[in-house]
Amino acid sequence: MGYDNRFKLEIKDPFIKEIEYKCIKCGISNISGKFCQQCGEPLRKEEVKKYSPETLINNFRTESEDASALIKENGECSQSGSGHDIEDDLVEFSTQYPESLFILTATWDSGFGDPPTTFYIKNGKTQTCEATYTYDKFDESKLK
């Protein structure tokens, strides 16, 4: 019998900002320096945004065996399993995209009774948050 852990992955700020230098006249980009080498016009600095959540999830799934088995392309859980390495894999993966926040939510095998855990992972660092249970106060009118 395998473990019945379930994982879900969300990504906030999936876009990496990259600076490109572009010549408006020639339409040439990715040139470093202040002036176009072709026409001598001053280059314009532009922020280019790359990567969608789907791209990042897909890249993660190609790098992590656990992720490809347990997480769907849209980040939802595809099937339950151990997922033993998934958090470590994601921590390592996140350093490639330092501006993005990865939110991994784990619902653990009910046999262990652990509350669900959310891992906030950014640029190789993790904040681990366990769900907390709250109980309603005693209310005599609710006695049955």
Q: 25 vs 49, which CB is nearer to Zn ion? A: 25
Q: Interface with Zn ion by CB under 5 A: which range of 34-42, 65-73, 112-120, 134-142? A: 34-42
Of 37, 57, 132, 43, nearest in space to 102 by CA: 57
Q: Confirm or reject binding of residue 26 to Zn ion (CB under 5 A).
A: yes
Q: Confirm or reject binding of residue 43 to Zn ion (CB under 5 A).
A: no
Tokens of 61: 């799934």
Q: 43 vs 121, which CB is nearer to Zn ion? A: 43
Indicate the SS3 state at residue 134: coil
Report the residue from 36, 70, 90, 91 that binds Zn ion according to the rule CB under 5 A: 36
Q: Which residues contact 45 (CB under 8 A, 6 or more apart)?
A: 19, 20, 21
State the residues that interact with Zn ion by CB under 5 A. 23, 25-26, 36, 38-39, 41
